[in-house]
Amino acid sequence: MNKPAQTTDWIADEFVNEVRTRLRSGKRVRRTLPDGGRLHIDRQLPFLCVYRQPMGQTDDGTSELVEGEASFLIATASKRATADLSDLVHKLVEALSDQFDAFLILEIWSAPDKDVAIAADEDDILPTELQPDFVISARGTNTPQRTLATFRRHLERVSILKQKASVQIEPAAEAHPPKLPYLLKAQQCKTLNCDTIGLCVRPIYRDHDSGVLFPGVLHDLKRGLGRAFKQTFFTFAKTRTNASPKHFYSLGRRAMVKSVWDVDRRLSEISDSFDFLLQVTPVNAEAAWREFRRKKFQTVPRFYYRPLAVEPAVLKRQLFDVHIEHIEDPTLAELFRQRQDELDRKITMLTDVGTPRFLLGSRQVYGDIDANLLDIANELLRRLSSRSREDSGGQLSAQQFAEEAEQEIAFYRAQMPSFAAKAEVREDIFSGLLCSGGNLLIGHRASIPRRRVQALLQHEVGTHLLTYYNGLTEPFQQLHSGFAGYDALQEGLAVLTEYLVGGLSSPRMRMLAARVVAAQMLVDGATFIDTFNAIDRDYDFSQRIAYTITMRTYRGGGLTKDAVYLRGLMEMLEYLKGGGELEPLFIGKIAADHISLIQELRHRNVLKPPAIRPRYLEMPDVPERLNGLRNGVAVTDLVKATIR
């Protein structure tokens, strides 16, 4: 009696058939393979990135170069797996080639580590062992030449530590790793209309002697390669298949793994556990003003702050227990890594309130004032009159303005019931306006010129609250709590809306300019009294306004945030002049550097369009003013200039 044959399959036939069935029905495939392998196919796509782990040697980091793509296969290169792996690839290519009429396999491997150990260039300026180096190979004479040209062009744009990549195409080279066979035989490729491209990468992301990884280099290389991959797949899809992707970003990953949602949730929880601006805003600003005035403006006011309701050390532990390195998607990893770094710096600033270290943290978070910004601020202060008819229409009290704000909020709530904002008059806020936790906080001593009411409503409700609640409707919580560095774009957009509704007055522009000057004086070492006197006497502001500007700048030990209003406005004018659209900016609280990343996520269907649009876009004269800005307008020309 014959004994039943023992199975030696590396992958069972049932597994392979299930993969093919899921692909043909348009379902996602995410499977673990033996020996640490993985198969991830986000949806029906006409390409597959492949990496085979070589036997008998370590190759740390290389597999990560494909993990961010929407369709990838990571498998062992062992001989016992060869047949089953080829069968798996054949079945999935067969399923997808039927759908798209063609298919592309892009296989990646690393060059020997000894190839990294090359001397510096002849001038000994750059360490060329960190220069990206790629060798492209393709199978057969009927290779997709336009796809190869695209691949080469975008690989040449990869840069690590300011070193441009070296890229070669070797048509005679085999398009697979050395000592390994092709995944598909030539006849199979011909039958399936499948092309194969190989990419050999110099492993600059690890030490060539010890094999220790350089995480920063690996991260940057992964991002650069990811963009080149998508551009290549886009060209292939448009020229060789029946697919019609609208943008190369649309070929990126859509499905998010659990680690992404976990990181997003935990970072948002940490961010929401404290209100940074409230924590660094004095609770005794009004009493300090009275004391400052009583002492003839010769004694530096003493400010007091809210007690911290969180333990910074605990927050830090929680923050760095968020494992962003587990996120395979390089775009999302970059966004979350920036946010983690900013939260770290802000938590440190909370512990430094009232000390000289606070200013150092502020400069790290909000940046310094460049010479051009300071020149523009001084020009505005010189050109714009300090005289104003802004108050001629009367004033609204804090409570009256709150009632106007509630009506504006009701307009948005009618479109989106979850727009649950409230306008609150607060005793612990001096005289300003502040959006916090999805609510508008109004200082009880606030006095709002009627001519400025609409502008401030669109600034606070139509920008800050709208982006907060739009962010809440998106899958990523960071879009309501704010990605790193969002302040400049937020405040620039908010001030721009003041102009669009006809409420950006000369006094308002002078105040924004004075904030820049005050921040620079702070950085240069001026005292509170020095800055107050300059704003009061040299720039002809009232003592009360000069105090408010100076208090906002020196609070906490020195906060340079107020310089972002004018800087952000200048950035917005350049953005519109360059053809930028406002619509992507309403999706949540993002920085200017994130616009392209947000657009990428929109193309990938990861993010939705903004839930609601600002009311001001429907107001008379706004489209005309907006079109005028697209033709190019200097910030100094936004309001009528009068020489003092």
Least confident segment among 127-136, 399-408, 524-533: 127-136
| Phi/psi-derived region of residue 518, left when phi > 0, alpha when psi is between -120 and 50, beta in every other case | alpha
Check residue 139 and give its pLDDT.
83
Q: Is 247 exposed, middle or buried (0-12, 13-18, 19+ CB in 10 A)?
A: middle
User: Is 70 exceeded by the pLDDT of residue 123?
Assistant: no
Q: Classify residue 52 by its DSSP letter.
A: E
| Beta carbons of 162 and 26 less than 8 angstroms apart | no
List, as one string, the DSSP characters of 527-588: -HHHHHHIIIIIS---HHHHHHHHHHHHGGG--GGGGHHHHHHHHHHHHHHTT--SGGGGGS
Confidence of residue 56 (pLDDT cuts 50, 70, 90): confident
- CA–CA separation, 594 and 488 (whole Å): 12
**First-to-final CA distance of the chain:** 110
Helix (H) or strand (E) holding 47: strand 47-53
Check residue 120 and give its pLDDT.
43
List, as one string, the DSSP characters of 420-470: ---EEEETTS-S-EEEETTEEEEETT-EEEGGGHHHHHHHIIIIIIHHHHH
Give the tens place of pLDDT for each residue, 560-570.
999 999 999 99
The pairing of beta strand 433-436 with beta strand 439-443: antiparallel
What domains are defined for the chain? 13-117+124-252 (3.40.630), 368-637 (no CATH)
SS (H, E, C) 148-164: HHHHHHHHCCCEECCEE
Six-digit token string for 53 = 């782990």
C-alpha Rg value of the chain to the nearest Å: 29
The residue ranking higher by pLDDT, 12 or 441, is 441
Length of the chain, please?
A: 644
Six-digit token string for 160 = 């690590």
User: Is 60 exceeded by the pLDDT of residue 178?
Assistant: yes
> Phi and psi (nearest 5°) for 131?
-80, 125
Six-digit token string for 14 = 């049932």
Check residue 330 and give its pLDDT.
86
Least confident segment among 65-79, 528-542, 627-641: 627-641
Check residue 93 and give its pLDDT.
95
Check residue 4 and give its pLDDT.
38
Check residue 208 and give its pLDDT.
84
> Phi and psi (nearest 5°) for 462?
-75, -10
Check residue 544 and give its pLDDT.
94
Whole-model pTM: value is 0.83
User: Is 90 exceeded by the pLDDT of residue 174?
Assistant: no
| Phi/psi-derived region of residue 605, left when phi > 0, alpha when psi is between -120 and 50, beta in every other case | left
- CA–CA separation, 457 and 450 (whole Å): 11
Check residue 128 and give its pLDDT.
59
Confidence of residue 300 (pLDDT cuts 50, 70, 90): very high
User: Is 70 exceeded by the pLDDT of residue 644?
Assistant: no
Residue range 392-410: mean pLDDT, rounded: 92
- CA–CA separation, 572 and 629 (whole Å): 10
Confidence of residue 458 (pLDDT cuts 50, 70, 90): very high
Check residue 177 and give its pLDDT.
93
User: Is 90 exceeded by the pLDDT of residue 639?
Assistant: no
- CA–CA separation, 552 and 135 (whole Å): 56
Confidence of residue 116 (pLDDT cuts 50, 70, 90): low
Check residue 546 and give its pLDDT.
97
Confidence of residue 331 (pLDDT cuts 50, 70, 90): confident
Contacts of 559 (CB under 8 A, 6+ apart): 280, 358, 359, 362, 366, 552, 553
Confidence of residue 2 (pLDDT cuts 50, 70, 90): very low
User: Is 90 exceeded by the pLDDT of residue 273?
Assistant: yes
Contacts of 523 (CB under 8 A, 6+ apart): 359, 363, 368, 369, 558, 560
Confidence of residue 268 (pLDDT cuts 50, 70, 90): very high
Residue range 600-615: mean pLDDT, rounded: 92
Confidence of residue 5 (pLDDT cuts 50, 70, 90): very low
Q: Classify residue 502 by its DSSP letter.
A: T
Residue range 254-259: mean pLDDT, rounded: 84
Check residue 7 and give its pLDDT.
42
List, as one string, the DSSP characters of 80-145: HHHHHHHHHHHHHHHHHHHHHS-EEEEEEEEPPGGGT--PPPTTS-S-GGGS-EEEEEESSSS--H
Contacts of 351 (CB under 8 A, 6+ apart): 312
Least confident segment among 104-113, 140-149, 347-356: 140-149
User: Is 50 exceeded by the pLDDT of residue 642?
Assistant: no
Percent of the chain with pLDDT over 90: 77
Confidence of residue 143 (pLDDT cuts 50, 70, 90): confident
Give the tens place of pLDDT for each residue, 581-595.
999 999 999 999 899
User: Is 60 exceeded by the pLDDT of residue 125?
Assistant: no
- For 394, other C-beta atoms within 10 Å of its C-beta total 9
- For 92, other C-beta atoms within 10 Å of its C-beta total 23
Tokens 């609280």 belong to residue: 589
List, as one string, the DSSP characters of 157-215: T-EETTEEPEEEE-TTS-SS-TT---SS-HHHHHHHTEEEEEEEE--TTB-TTT--B-H
Confidence of residue 142 (pLDDT cuts 50, 70, 90): confident
Check residue 3 and give its pLDDT.
38
* Average pLDDT taken over every residue of the chain: 91
User: Is 90 exceeded by the pLDDT of residue 196?
Assistant: yes
